[in-house]
Structure 1
Amino acid sequence: MIVVTRLHGGRFAVNPDLVQRVETTPDTVITLVDGTKYIVSETLDELVEAMTDARARVISRAQALAEMDTAPEVRQPLAVVRTPEEAR
């Protein structure tokens, strides 16, 4: 999620995966995939950076969880699986 600010000062969070586009007209307008539009005080560059950082955090957290799952102490032993033809 990224936190953005309405022109009147209220703050709210947006899921960057639902953002279709961001444009400046001259206000910054976020358009979601369902057509919902929000006018916010952040600049286009600030939003691009925030969305990039949010995705990087998701990838980083997923990588950390994957590394925890494959730690040597919890790793399952490998086994050879043979097809019926190979077993003969």
Structure 2
Amino acid sequence: MIVVTRLNDSQFAVNPDLIERIHANPDTTLVMVDGAKYIVTETMSQVIEMIASYRAYVLHLARELPPSVHQHSHPQLGLVPPAVSASGDESGDSGNTVPLRPRNT
């Protein structure tokens, strides 16, 4: 979450992943994916910098997690296991693949 300031100087946090657009005409307006609009005192460049910093922080936290947390805390839902050939090799080619055809342009 990033913390931004309304025109009345009250602060609130917004999920930057839900921001669709940012307008600066003349006030900075955050347009959310659900259509909600928030006018904030920060400039467009300040909001963009806050979003970049937030995302860098999230990546930093993810890299700092111990390996056991990455492997065991969440089941791998919805993943298709790699195809195993008759020789037991995980080549990814199960023999039932459909070749790609070039598009007609």
Q: Tell me, in whole angstroms, the C-alpha distance in 2 between the residues paired with 1:17 and 1:84.
A: 41
Instruction: Kindly indicate whether structure 1 or structure 2 has the higher relative contact order, using CA contacts under 8 Å at least 6 residues apart.
Output: 1
Unaligned runs of 5+ in 2: 69-83, 89-105
Rounded to whole Å, the distance in 1 between the matches of 2:41 and 2:64 is: 34
- Which residue of structure 1 lines up, in the alignment, with residue 7 of structure 2? 7
The answer for the alignment partner of 1:17 in structure 2 is 17
Report the CA distance between 1:25 and its aligned residue.
Answer: 1.1
Deviation sequence 1:13-70 (CA, Å, 0-9, x none): 00000000111110000000000000000000100000000000111111111xx115
Q: How does 1:1-80 map to 2 (within 5 A)?
A: 1-65=1-65, 68-69=66-67
- The count of aligned residue pairs is 73
Letter in 2 for 1:45: S
Q: Which 4+ stretches in 1 moved above 2 angstroms? A: 83-87
CA RMSD of aligned residues (A): 1.6
Change beyond 3 A, Cα 1:84–1:31 = closer
Amino acid aligned to 1:69: P
In 1, Cα distance between equivalents of 2:42 and 2:27: 9
The separation in 1 between residues aligned to 2:86 and 2:5, in whole angstroms, is: 64
Q: TM-score, normalised by structure 2?
A: 0.65
Higher strand share: 1
Question: Helix, strand or coil: the match of 2:9?
Answer: coil
Percent same amino acid among aligned pairs?
45
Partner of 2:86: 85
